[in-house]
Amino acid sequence: MLAQLVLGILRVLDQDVVGVYVHGSLALGDFNRETSDVDFLVATRTELSAEKLPALEQMHAELRDQGFKWACNMEGSYISQKLLKRYDPERCWHPALRCDGSFGVDGHGSDWIIQRAILREYGLTLHGPAPDILIDPVAPAELKKAAQAILTEWWSPLFKDASRLNSSEYQAYAILTMCRCLYTIEEGLVASKPAAAQWVLDTSHGSKWELLIRQALAWRNGDGLNAIDQTLAFVRYTLERAGK
């Protein structure tokens, strides 16, 4: 399917393509067939014009219609090589395939500092030069600041509206994301969610949250988690540890 993805991108964008890459859990080596998405990034020579977006949307729809399993569990972004080099919060809106299959232009928040680091250090090259040629190194201090910003921007609002946690899937996602935030804030490094969860379990954090984290690690589609209060408590703990 990844070969078909690259062929489709090249068919639509041709010489506008600099490189096509896989990042996320597949690149980090902790891909889970039950719960993971395929994360990809396309580096383009220039920012794509609005006229090119319908053809990209159609290409992704055709991949799904061809019955490729992971075409329905895929998300990715199209970012110019100039803006890929270093995260710019003033120029962070890029064409994106969303995990629900829709396509549009989305804002890319502070988590893209972390995604860039994963892509640079661990990304799989499907087409074009190695990603570390296109992306500047991301310093540990930048990673820590990004993790703190993610907690503030995305997770603090849960205490005003926790409806996202009504889904067991989202509870598991929240728990493992807190593990990754703790790891990045304390170590200044990036890791997959499962690896970060194991790190938490192996540290002093783990004594209080072991059962919750192990439940999140074991969660599979269709399972009930029913841990909203415990998840909120873990989010609060992570925010406190981050100094937020």
**Domain coordinates in residue numbering, the chain:** 2-134, 140-241
Overall average pLDDT of the 183-201 stretch: 95
Of the listed ranges 37-41, 132-136, 176-180, the least confidently predicted one is 37-41
SS3 of residue 95 by DSSP: strand
What pLDDT score was predicted for residue 244? 55
Model pLDDT for residues 55-80, shown as the tens digit of each residue:
999 999 999 888 776 667 899 999 99
Tell me: pLDDT of 47 over 60.
yes
Secondary structure of residue 232 in the 3-state scheme: helix
pLDDT tens figures, 111-162: 999 999 999 999 999 999 999 999 999 999 999 999 999 999 999 999 999 9
pLDDT band at 35 (very low <50, low <70, confident <90, very high): low
Write out pLDDT tens, residues 89-110.
Answer: 999 999 999 988 899 999 999 9
Alpha-carbon distance 54 to 225, whole Å? 39
The whole-number pLDDT of residue 31 equals 73
209 pLDDT higher than 90: yes
Q: Which residues fall within 8 angstroms of residue 150, CB to CB, at 6 or more apart?
A: 109, 110, 111, 114, 181
- Supply the mean pLDDT for the chain: 93
Burial 40-72, CB ≥16 within 10 A → b, else e: bbbbbeeebeeeebeebbebbeebeeeebebbe
Q: Right CATH number for 2-134 from 3.40.50, 1.20.1270, 3.30.300, 3.30.460?
A: 3.30.460
In this prediction, residue 205 carries a pLDDT of: 82
